[in-house]
Structure 1
Amino acid sequence: MSITANTLAAGRCNHQTTALDEAGIKENLAALPDWKIDGGKLSRAFDFKDYYQTLAFVNAIAWVIHAEDHHPDLAVSYNRCGVKFDTHSVNNGKGGLSVNDFICAAKVDAIFAQRAS
């Protein structure tokens, strides 16, 4: 069974100690075409009409991400929010990417897709 954005979004984060290998990263990334790997982190920028919409998005993803207990780096400006995920607990604390990063990215995409235009 191939990985899809829907199967990732339906997933739940669990404590991870092992990073995904290159094949695992590619397979998960294929399900999330708007995301890229940047500096070892799963990254995407989201554009909005104004600061209010940007902050509404940040608040919405904060609610979901807190429930998953997997928190990204956020860069918030007037009409843009950059989101970067990685997993600090993998590779003996050296960090890397785990399935949790892709689960949360899919959940963030789902929230973005539901925004009011």
Structure 2
Amino acid sequence: MANLTEQSCEACRVGAPLATTEEIAQWLPQLTDWQIVNVDSIDRLTRTYQFNNFVDALTFTNKVGELAESMGHHPALLTEWGRVTVSWWTHKIKGLHKNDFICAAKTDAIYPSLSK
């Protein structure tokens, strides 16, 4: 099994299959501190990252935005003083897809360079 951070998102279409229970059980342990949260009947991968100030939180938000653009896959981002909450899900299928786990792992990879 390849590490999620080494993989790329695939083009996702309406009707693509949601991640199975078995796939989630395989991928979720590769992610640190992520939770599956159900919002409006849609499962999302969500994590809140801590920072020492707003500037670092904003820098992280921008780096996650750059990641999102490069992957063609976009999360919900809530930037506040000292923290950023990131939620990944696949809008087209209204739930979780492998792309969400890949992007969550890549988001985790960005964090150590900005946290103190």
Q: Same fold (TM over 0.5)?
A: yes
1:116 is displaced (CA, Å) by 5.3
**Distance in 2, Cα, partners of 1:42 & 1:101:** 7
* Consecutive unaligned residues in structure 1, runs of 5 or more: none
Q: Secondary structure at the match of 1:89?
A: helix
Distance 1:23 1:74, change over 3 A: same
Aligned residue number for residue 99 of structure 1: 98
TM alignment of 1:34-49, pairs within 5 A: 34-39=33-38, 40-49=43-52
Does the residue aligned with 1:34 lie in a helix, a strand or coil? Answer: coil
Looking at structure 2, the residues matched to 116 and 45 of structure 1 have their Cα atoms a distance apart, in angstroms, of 12
Whether the 8 Å contact between 2:4 and 2:102 is mirrored in structure 1 is yes
Aligned residue pairs: how many?
Answer: 109
Please report the TM-score for the alignment, with normalisation by the length of structure 2: 0.88
Check if 1:9 corresponds to 2:5. yes
Q: Evaluate the alpha carbon distance shift between residue 31 and residue 65 of structure 1 in structure 2; reply closer, same or farther with a 3 A threshold.
A: same
Q: Which amino acid aligns with 2:7?
A: G
Map residues 1-117 of structure 1 onto 2, 5 A cutoff. Answer: 1=1, 7-16=3-12, 17-39=16-38, 40-90=43-93, 95-115=94-114, 117=116
Q: CA RMSD in A?
A: 1.2
Q: Tell me the percent identity.
A: 33
13-22 or 44-53, which deviates more: 13-22
TM-score after normalising by structure 1: 0.87
Runs of 4+ in 1 over 3 A off after TM superposition: none
